[in-house]
A and B are shown apart, each in its own frame.
Chain A
Amino acid sequence: MNDLYIQNNLVCRSSEIWKNKALFFKSEENDDLKAFLKKAYQYIEMDYPKFFKMDNLSKLAILNFEILIQNEKIQDPALVFANSNSSLDTDQKFQKSTATFASPALFVYTLPNIMLGEISIKHTLRSENIFLISKEFNPSLYTQYVSQLFQDKNISETVCGWVDLHNSEYDVLLCRITRNGEVKFTEENLQKLYDQPHE
């Protein structure tokens, strides 16, 4: 694991997106999630109509992934993602729909790993995927799993993600992990990135 590095990172919370510790995008403070997502989508000129069919959790994941890798060449990264609230936001919406007409369009999003599918489709990634659940952000989940993944010589990079959504509060950290770089891929460094202030 000593040979692994955090290449770049992204944090998205409360209407702000920070890339490599610099403010990348900010929308109005009072914007709800939907408005925030739409403005950020327009800001990066994303042109991907499927985006508007996704649930909020997948939108958060795919949009921020796009920003993380903007202007960079990725090499089939493995995706190691986690969150706390699974797909509960969409679960509740689907559950409501069952009273009248159970919506298949909502049901497909009632699994948290769907965001990995959306990212993989957008970037034609046929890489390793895993989605984990943890009450709070837990850096050891990533370091443990990723260090084992990299023992496979064919894996050249991994994107670690924390994409959580609950009661319209969202919390995203994405990190690109590679075999070369400056910031070591350690629990401590991951936690620092997660804790970074965003005033």
Chain B
Amino acid sequence: MKNFLLADSIISPLGFGTEANLENLRNSKSALQLQPANNRFPNGYYAGIIDEDVLDVNFEKIGKISSLTKLEKMMILAIQDVLNSSAIDLENLGLVMATTKGNIDLITSNNFEGDRVQLWKLGEVIASFFKIKSKPIIVSNACISGGLAVKVANDLIRAGKCKHALVVAGDLVSEFVMAGFQSFQAISPFPCRPFSNDRAGISLGEAAAALLIGPKANSHSNIQYVNVCTANDANHISGPSRNGEGLVQAVSRVLENSNLKSDCLDYISAHGTATIYNDEMEAIAFNRLGLQEVPLNSFKGYYGHTLGASALIETILTKHALQNNELLKSLNYTAAGVSKSLKIIKENFKTDLKLALNTASGFGGCNLAMLLKKEI
């Protein structure tokens, strides 16, 4: 039994709703803006941050803003947008949530009850807003969370636990994660430049996304979820493996389990965070897999790294790439900057697409490979 990616929404600085986001991506707009200086960043820093006033104006149409955190409002708006576009029986809906740090900004705030910082509480708040009865399943597996949640959702339907499953993901640009990545000296002084020779680290972004998965294609989508595999690098908890072994294994397994060969791939949505070592690791892995001629991009130049949301956002964007036969350029790419060649997409173009690979890697040595296919 195969499931389809039926409806989706992205809530980001580039727009509220997938279409608004796509419009900005096509025009090469980036969410990454210079943010005001603070003690930690005397010259400011580049990040993609959602204007909370704009968020509240949008949110007031569906709920009370005072009782919810910024992240909760973002996630709820994403889900509401998906529900608006599809007639779904909430009684028979599974909910899967992906986040790395959830409401971590509450760790120093007294505005909400103590347990609001807990990830399970975030799940409860979201489910109760929509009166979804089934207990949400929460995935917190670093930067592959959003993709892994899609696998969990697919499994739920396959196991007969629900008819449709809704995946929601979100993370904030919090003081907490900014301090953390800066302690690693991993924050780029300019908007991140994935795979470029002058890349100098990540930019962070915040966003929420939602994706509805179900067993039947509809007039809006014939994009099929094929499979997801993960593999650990077994190498280092905060640095990518030098030879890309974990990513190689994740991709080879997902192809093998789906009886597909690497030469069937039309497109790769790579992780491409723009750190020196991550992008190099991906280049080595894709070359070991013989994928150096497959058109590839990273969406981090548009959104920054949205952590637990990023792999779901990229799943959604890959879905639309397949649907529209449209590839978007890897924004902020300057010149080749990895030791193995890759076919980085330099200009937007239209081409026939059937099968796409979406990859993600994260702290803890985790790697994920997802295949999406257009059913014709």
Specify which chain B residues have a CB less than 8 angstroms from the CB of A199 in the assembled complex: none
- With a 10 A CB-CB cut-off, give which of A102, A110, A113, A152 has the most chain B CB atoms: A113
Specify which chain A residues have a CB less than 8 angstroms from the CB of B176 in the assembled complex: 91, 94-95, 98, 110
Are A130 and B237 in contact (CB-based, < 8 A)?
Answer: no
Are B235 and A121 in contact (CB-based, < 8 A)?
Answer: yes
- With a 10 A CB-CB cut-off, give which of A85, A104, A133 has the most chain B CB atoms: A133
B interface, how many residues as a size bin?
Answer: 35 or more
A109-129 CB mask vs B (1 if < 8 Å, else 0) is: 011111111101101111111
Contact pick for B155, options A107, A116, A117, A145, CB 8 Å = A145
B109-141 CB mask vs A (1 if < 8 Å, else 0) is: 000000001111101100000000001011111
Are B366 and A129 in contact (CB-based, < 8 A)?
Answer: yes
A-B contact count (CB 8 A): 147
- Give B242 Cβ to nearest chain A Cβ, in Å: 14
**Known A-B contacts A94-B176, A104-B184; A130 and B139 likewise in contact (beta carbons under 8 Å):** yes
Are A86 and B161 in contact (CB-based, < 8 A)?
Answer: no
Chain A residues 97-156 with CB under 8 Å of chain B are: 98, 102-104, 107-108, 110-118, 120-121, 123-135, 138, 141, 144-145, 147-148, 152, 154
Are A133 and B119 in contact (CB-based, < 8 A)?
Answer: yes
- With a 10 A CB-CB cut-off, give which of B118, B141, B180, B230 has the most chain A CB atoms: B180
- Give A88 Cβ to nearest chain B Cβ, in Å: 7
- Complex CA distance for A114 and B237, rounded to whole angstroms: 6
- The answer to the question of A92 belonging to the interface, with a C-beta cut-off of 8 Å to chain B, is yes
Specify which chain B residues have a CB less than 8 angstroms from the CB of A148 in the assembled complex: 155, 158-159
- Complex CA distance for A104 and B181, rounded to whole angstroms: 8
- The answer to the question of B363 belonging to the interface, with a C-beta cut-off of 8 Å to chain A, is yes
- The answer to the question of B156 belonging to the interface, with a C-beta cut-off of 8 Å to chain A, is yes
Specify which chain B residues have a CB less than 8 angstroms from the CB of A121 in the assembled complex: 234-237, 365
- Give B228 Cβ to nearest chain A Cβ, in Å: 10
Specify which chain B residues have a CB less than 8 angstroms from the CB of A152 in the assembled complex: 257
Are B104 and A91 in contact (CB-based, < 8 A)?
Answer: yes
Specify which chain B residues have a CB less than 8 angstroms from the CB of A112 in the assembled complex: 140
7 further A-B pairs in the complex, CB-CB below 8 A; given A86-B119, A117-B366 = A94-B179, A104-B238, A108-B363, A118-B237, A120-B234, A144-B156, A154-B253
A-B contact pairs, 5 of them (CB 8 A): A88-B117, A112-B140, A116-B364, A129-B231, A144-B161
Residues of B within 8 A of A (CB): 100-102, 104, 107-108, 117-121, 123-124, 135, 137-142, 148, 152, 155-156, 158-159, 161, 175-176, 179-184, 229-238, 245-246, 249, 253, 257, 362-366
Residues of A within 8 A of B (CB): 79, 84-86, 88, 91-92, 94-95, 98, 102-104, 107-108, 110-118, 120-121, 123-135, 138, 141, 144-145, 147-148, 152, 154
